[in-house]
Amino acid sequence: MGDLSVLVSPLLTGDAAWLREAERIYCESILEAERKPSSWLREAMARDDFLLLVAKADEKVCGMATVYRSKRETDLALLEYLAVDRGARGRGIGGILFQAAVEACGDRTMLIEVDAETGEGCTLQEQRQRMRFYRRLGCTPIRRVEYQLPLKTAGVIPPMELLIYPSRTVDRETLRRWISAVYVDVYGMGADDPRIEQMLAGLPVTGNH
């Protein structure tokens, strides 16, 4: 990363210029089928269960992340989005943002939604790079769960995987509660959305790893 000095901090509602840069990075970096409208970042800033983090270097925004810290499931967090400006990639900024998100979550378990390595939506190489990035940081896939991202967006949402940090065993009922909280609070879906049971169908009743 050389002499690059990166500072990560929560974005406040009065930081209009920083917000515009975060929105630009968000729209340029996240697949259209997997992102909410850019106005979502403003909404996230105003919510007390979300945190919008921005990474700054040389007085410029070079990355952003949104983190959900559940109020109904106090042991749960979700790293919803993480993106680095194209011109600043390969310099360790993504890892710095990730660690800032971990610190912001305290002792909560963090879930991460990531494209499965199928070549759908973007290239297989990009998907593998993204998965290696998270695996290198200590995230592991939750096996036998074919995660369904419940967004109503343009295009077809590619197959997803659900990762967990730190790596741990999660029983089926806990995972049901967590995914339900994400569906309700992050995506505005019902707690009884049938996709939740579909995702859990491949898990044993007694546990999961």
Q: Provide the pLDDT for residue 172.
A: 95
Q: What is the pLDDT of residues 55-84, one digit of tens each?
A: 999 889 999 999 999 999 999 999 999 999
Q: Which CATH number fits domain 7-200: 3.40.50.300, 3.40.50.720, 3.80.10.10, 3.40.630.30?
A: 3.40.630.30
Which residues on adjacent β-strands are paired with residue 140?
164
Q: What is the pLDDT of residues 161-182, one digit of tens each?
A: 999 999 999 999 999 999 999 9
**Longest CA–CA separation in the chain, Å:** 51
What is the value of pTM for the model shown? 0.93
Give the rounded distance of the alpha carbon of 136 from its chain centre: 16
Residues 6+ away with beta carbon under 8 Å from 112:
78, 79, 134, 139, 162, 163, 164, 165
Q: Provide the pLDDT for residue 208.
A: 46
Please, are residues 145 and 166 in contact by the beta-carbon 8 Å criterion?
no
Element (H, E) at 126: helix 124-136
Q: Provide the pLDDT for residue 206.
A: 61
Please, are residues 77 and 110 in contact by the beta-carbon 8 Å criterion?
yes
